[in-house]
Structure 1
Amino acid sequence: MKKVAIILSGCGVYDGSEIHEAVLTFLALTQQGASYRCFAPNIDQHHVINHVNGEVSEETRNVLVESSRLCRGDVEDIIELREQDFDALIVPGGFGAAKNLSNFAIDSDNYKVSEQVLNAAKAFAKAEKPSGYMCIAPALLPLIYPEGVKGTIGTDNATAALITAKGLTHVNCDVDNVVIDFKNKIVTTPAYMLASNINEANNGITKLVKSVLALT
């Protein structure tokens, strides 16, 4: 049985992991006969968004605690993530990837990946184990892999240009498809960067999961 690590960034599209993307990833992995374990940074979220009205809420929430909502409490601190225990890595999207795993949403010109996430992701890259990144999460790729790494966030040229400036070779991609960088063993899909409903997101995410497992 293939073992996959999943890095979450909270719970909720506007300030954490995109819930549909995370759950569809869990489902696709299970349907493909793979097992998974979830990890998240034990840090405060950048901020908390009221998902009803989109306004910033005056409260503090923890990324690890919020991520536990997605995986029914079965989540571990990312500092416990050991690449040698897994065959692959998958990172769902949502604004949490751009606010909590990195600061892409805050400083897109000079953004960085958080040290804990960077260390974990680079371990998989160094071991030449496959990884899957979806939605906005591919923004992390040029800070993890060598310049020229290939990936997609869909067809948003303005957003793609910001990531390309960091070293990503961006490839436009439809919502139900994936881009595979065979050299670096990376699979990316637009998911909710393009999806207008859960089924559209599911088509690309299922293809990403199958492709990542095929690269192991």
Structure 2
Amino acid sequence: MYHLSRNGARFQMFAPNQQQMNVMDHMKKQPMSGDNRNVMLESSRFSHGQGQMQMHDLNKLDVNSFDGVIFPGGHGIVKNLSSFVKDGKDCKLHGDVERVLKDFHRSRKPIGLSSMAPVLACRVLPSIEVTMGHERDENSRWGNWPYTNMVQAVKNMGARHHVHEPFEKNKVVSTPSFMWETEFHYHYIFDGIGNMVKHVMRLANK
């Protein structure tokens, strides 16, 4: 949201109107029992519900009303927007997520993907090229890459993976974001997301 606003974009935010797979306790890093929340209502916490920051139902997203689309990533990608957490490379996508990705790709409008979001595009768009960071866990002083199994999964889906940050090919722009766990270099993650947003906006204006 910051990078879109900083670069002068007008945007809207969308989320599916459905229950979450689970609610995480981020202190204990495990699901909470006895709590169930709606994805769209939880997503609205980011927006404060005013103007272009208002959250909309994903089933209302029309490709003809926008110049590009960005999926910001996070564990909701593999739990709520797809069945990846259960089915891996054979996962199914939420119906509106699949529709949106195919509509924008068919219309030759740019698609931005951050963090785990390339999983979605690789599942339904044949032979695309993305980056999700390193293909093996470096575990260096710079941090580590704990989700390298997802890189293998997108390759098994038929995608081509690049160790690049960010990477853009055929109007699909991706950046690893929090696929990288680092204690001291969050500005690289921030800058990577910013570069992805700039690429999407540049492609949208061509």
Establish whether TM, by shorter chain, passes 0.5: yes
Q: RMSD of the TM alignment (CA)?
A: 1.3
| 1:44 and 1:60 in contact (8 A); partners too | yes
Unaligned runs of 5+ in 2: 136-147
> Matched residue of 1:93: which SS?
coil
Checking the alignment, whether the CA contact within 8 Å between 2:177 and 2:189 is kept in structure 1 is yes
User: Could you tell me which amino acid in structure 2 is paired with residue 135 of structure 1?
Assistant: S
Give how far 1:57 is off: 1.2
Aligned residue in 1 for 2:16: 41
Tell me whether 1:108 sits opposite 2:88 in the alignment.
yes
Q: Tell me, which stretches of 5 or more residues in structure 1 are unaligned?
A: 1-25
Q: Are 2:149 and 1:158 equivalent residues in the alignment?
A: yes
Q: What fraction of aligned residue pairs are identical, expressed as a percent?
A: 32
Matched, 1:145 2:125: yes
- Indicate the SS of the match to 2:26: coil
Q: 2:128 touches 2:159 (CA, 8 Å); kept in 1?
A: yes
Which of 1 and 2 has greater Rg?
Answer: 2
Distance 1:121 1:190, change over 3 A: same
State the one-letter code of the partner of 1:89: V
Structure 1-normalised TM-score?
0.82
Q: Aligned pair 1:64/2:64, yes or no?
A: no
Task: Give the equivalent residue in structure 1 for 2:159.
Answer: 168
Corresponding residue of 2:29: 54
Matching residue's letter, 2:179: M
Look up the match of 1:91: 71
Residue equivalent to 1:21: none
1:206 matched to 2:187? The reply is no
CA distance in 2, matches of 1:99, 1:44: 11
How many residue pairs are counted as aligned between the two chains? 185
How far off is 1:178 after superposition? 0.8
State the alpha-carbon separation in 2 of the partners of residues 163 and 52 from structure 1. Answer: 30
